[in-house]
Amino acid sequence: MADLPSIAKVVVNLALDREFDYRIPERLRGQLRVGCRVWVPFGRSSRIGYVVGVAEKSTWPDLKELMRIEGEQEQIPENLITLARWIADYYCCAHEQAVRAMLPAVVRHGKMKPRQHLFAWLRPGVDVAAELEKCGARAKKRAAVLQVLARHGGACEAGWLTREAEATPAILNTLVKAGIVLTEHRVVDRDPNAGGDIVLPTRPLELTPEQTTALARITAALDRRGPGVILLHGVTGSGKTEVYLQAIARCLEQGREAIVLVPEIALTPQTVERFRSRFGDRISVLHSHLSDGERFDEWTRIRNGRAQIAVGARSALFAPFQKLGLVVVDEEHETTYKQDEAPRYNARDVAVVRGKFEGATVLLGTATPSLESFYNCQLGKYELARLSSRVDHQLMPAMELVDQRAEASQKGGAPLFSRRLMQLIRERLDNGEQTILFLNRRGFATQMICQKCGFVATCEHCSAAYTYHKQAAHLACHLCGATIRAPEACPQCRDPEIRDAGTGTEKIETIAAKLFPKAAIARMDSDSMTAKHAHRDTLSAFRSGKIQILIGTQMIAKGLHFPKVTLVGIMAADMGLHLPDFRAGERTFQLLVQVAGRAGRGDLPGRVIVQTYTPFHPVLQFAMRQDYDAFYREELTTRQALNFPPAAHMAAVHFRAPSEMVASAAAEAFVARIKPQLDPGVELFGPMPAPIAKVRNQYRYQLMIRGGSILRLGQTLRPLVTGATAFRHEDVEIHVDIDPQSLL
Ligand code: ADP
Ligand code: ZN
């Protein structure tokens, strides 16, 4: 036994997120593994916790001994422990951090118990008529309980039973004591969908030829029962979701289980409902607003095989299935799949890894594949399936560019709304059709500038200008959330001519209200959607036609499907094009195609107006033609020339410190340590200040490392950021981001 680890690192069931070391008694050394649920002495009592790691030695003297392993329930399954280990190695984080990500906090902390209710039923063989006889006229309530039980047939919930019989628990008890009635506590799931809308069941649709071919690919992969990745590239409205649904049905037929990842569950209510209508109870929807009790029950339901499909955001990838057959990643290009705190994993990429470990098929679906995924198809690592047209011969929306430079020089035009856009909106209003206006920036104006001295109101904690929110009458920093009252005069020169500049959705709404005074207009962004059901309510008002113009940020860019929307206006198409990020072009292309895809999803053809100051920009041109392949070719050429992903792997190292000097010094020292260890051919850039140099009073420096084997790079970086060998610098927070999605 000498070579088995003797120390267990345990997270105790307090909301502490701290590990404690315990000695593992000889008798448990063979059985104990990471993921086990264990009892440990804690203070003067004992507690239950999870083993999140094991070690040979501990830095603590006088360790207490671990007591025992708690039953099979609520342990982290072995397959997820394996996955966690891979995550820790690849994404360069502590093993414990990765293990922790496998369990929802409510399960990890172990305070929650399954909800149990008392159930009662008649002992088999009891002669009900004889018993009723015995009750006579005096024991009326006792007789009533017996009658309800006899009528009901099976076990019924005790509370319901006594209410129904107008009896008391004491009367039920006497029947139990007399051996006439049996009772038992049974687990009752807290139902997150209780009181919700009734969902009408749907049946599989007859597939189009393209859908049939795509599904055949997927079922072939499923039937091989080995790992395989398929990229489903289907234009908006091509019926990808129906393909997912039928692939899942196939997976369930095989007796296996499926996970569906969506970028943000609250933003895709229609998609989620389609899954619920097809699969009913077999599905577990992991909403972010589940109560602790509901979340606990959903986890347990999956763990026990009572649910076979899990739908949720990023973390649903860790649903504790044991017979995983399929993982669907919808909108695989979305950046929300990347977690921006440790472990900094990308759920899309980890899905591929989980599929490989567990012999599952992974289906990546999108209208605008990420460069990474499409590149993997080219390399032959992923299979490609395509849906090139919309179902039912609906046309792709007609796209039209409007040159805002020319508009600006015209007299009589409304700023921000081109004459063409106004004309088309009016037509929609006259015909009873609907319009979506898209601008990916909330607030009224992006800046407050003094016309006289040039002062710009800037957050005192961040290197960013305040956004002006007119309704709330305040300035808000979108990086740290700080707000101050909107000034009436310039704080610097006291001139009252301080003005707003730049445009957000709130301003678009105000102008639209003036231009179309009779129209019903709603705005959907994170400012207007703070109330609990605001999002759902606005969407259903839009669906029912009570709203004619919907204005919004990326919140309305994806997943929405409204047959009466025949016009989409993209207010400022080049807004994200010039950000200091090598993916700026890719993001803009994706956003334009996705937003445009909201138009013409019914019988009526759709039209998209793209307002821009740079009409000849190649990215806009490709988006206008919805020509993904041409976009990809051009973009990949640039990435290859510059050695950016997907042509090369990339890692970023971030340094955060309360002063710029400290951040830069730490980064320099880090470079001195890592440089000699890098493989030849690996490029290191920096240290340099991050594009957003300060957030929440923390100065930000970064390093960029590109090229070579990412696994080798991880091996070099990991000891520098985790464990005893970690590079430390006073007051500096250091973290590694592998395959970073954002460099701001
Ligand atoms: P995507 O996910 O590719 O944007 P959807 O799956 O939302 O496309 O499909 C668009 C619309 O077409 C939906 O209303 C869907 O119910 C319908 N649809 C999908 N497949 C078929 C089919 N084979 N026959 C008829 N209607 C279909
Ligand atoms: Zn700020």
pLDDT tens-digit readout, 328-374? 999 999 999 999 998 999 999 999 999 999 999 999 999 999 999 99
Same domain? For 83 and 141 the reply is no
Closest CA to ligand 1's atom 4 = 237
Q: Whose CA is nearest to atom 12 of ligand 1?
A: 239
Residue entry with tokens 């000891």: 719
Q: What distance in angstroms lies between residue 76's CA and the mean position of ligand 1's atoms?
A: 38
Q: Which of 266-275, 320-329, 457-466, 734-743 has the lowest mean pLDDT?
A: 266-275
Q: Are residues 251 and 331 in the same domain?
A: yes
Q: How far apart are CA 371 and CA 348, in angstroms?
A: 13
Same domain, 263 and 241: yes
* Antiparallel, parallel or unpaired: β 650-657 and 565-570: unpaired
Domain membership flag for residue 673? yes
Which H or E run contains 86?
helix 78-91
Q: Tell me the CA–centroid distance for residue 241 and ligand 1, in Å.
A: 7
Q: Is 320 in contact with 354 (CB distance < 8 Å)?
A: no
- 658 and 603 in a common domain: no
User: Tokens in use for 499?
Assistant: 């003005």
Domain membership of residue 481 (yes or no) is yes
pLDDT computed for residue 13 by the predictor: 58
Burial of residue 586 (CB within 10 Å: 0-12, 13-18, 19+) is buried
Give residue 15's pLDDT band: very low, low, confident or very high (50, 70, 90): very low
Q: Whose CA is nearest to atom 23 of ligand 1?
A: 207
Whether 447 shows a pLDDT value over 80: the answer reads yes
CATH number at residue 274: 3.40.50.300
Are 142 and 279 in a shared domain?
no
Is residue 422 a contact partner of residue 462, using CB atoms and an 8 Å limit? no
pLDDT of residue 206: 92
- CB contact set of 237 (below 8 Å; sequence gap of 6+): 390, 391, 394, 561, 597, 600, 601
Q: Which atom of ligand 1 is nearest to the CA of 236?
A: 4
Cα–Cα distances in angstroms (integers) from residue 662 to residues 82, 461, 721, in the given order: 38, 17, 18
The pTM (predicted TM-score) of the whole model is 0.85
Ligand 1, residue 234: give the atom nearest the CA.
Answer: 3
Q: Considering every ligand atom shown, identify the ligand nearest to the alpha carbon of residue 601 and give its number.
A: 1
User: Which residues are close to ligand 2, an ion, with C-beta < 5 A?
Assistant: 459, 461-462, 477, 479-480, 482
Mean pLDDT along residues 683-695: 92
Residues 6+ positions from 333 with CB-CB distance below 8 Å: 366, 368, 369, 370, 373, 590
Angle, helix 169-177 to helix 140-152, in steps of 10 degrees: 80
Indicate the residue among 606, 638, 670 that finishes a domain.
Answer: 638
Looking at 129, 152, 187, which one is the last position of a domain? 187
Same domain, 593 and 529: yes
SS3 readout for 155-167: CEEHHHHHHHCCC
d(CA 310, CA 326): 11
The answer to the question of residue 519 being in a domain is yes
Structural domain contains residue 334: yes
Q: Identify the residue whose C-alpha is closest to ligand 1 atom 18.
A: 239
194 within a domain of the structure (yes/no): no
- Which amino acid residue places its CA nearest to atom 6 of ligand 1? 239
State yes or no: pLDDT of 114 exceeds 90: no
Name the residue of 391, 593, 598, 628 whose CB sits within 8 Å of the most ligand 1 atoms, as the mutation to test its pocket.
Answer: 391
Indicate which ligand has the atom closest to the C-alpha of 483: 2
pLDDT tens figures, 481-540: 999 999 888 888 888 888 888 899 999 999 999 999 999 999 998 888 777 778 888 888
Radius of gyration from C-alpha coordinates of the chain:
30
Nearest ligand 1 atom to the CA of 235 is 3
Residue 193 falls within a domain, yes or no? no
Better-scored residue on pLDDT, 494 or 411: 494
As for how many domains the chain has, the answer is 6
Q: Which of 242, 328, 590 to mutate to test the pocket of ligand 1 (most atoms within 8 A of CB)?
A: 242
Average pLDDT over residues 442-466: 90
Alpha carbon of 601 to ligand 1 centroid (Å): 9
**Summary mean pLDDT of the chain:** 88
Answer yes or no: is pLDDT of 388 > 60.
yes
Which domain covers residue 294, as residue numbers?
Answer: 209-388
- Tokens for 510? 């105000």
Q: Which residues have any ligand 1 atom within 6 Å of their CB?
A: 205-208, 211, 234, 236-242, 391-392, 561
Domain boundary among 80, 102, 124: 102
The predicted pLDDT at position 113 comes to: 67
Q: Which of 19, 16, 17 is CA-nearest to residue 8?
A: 19
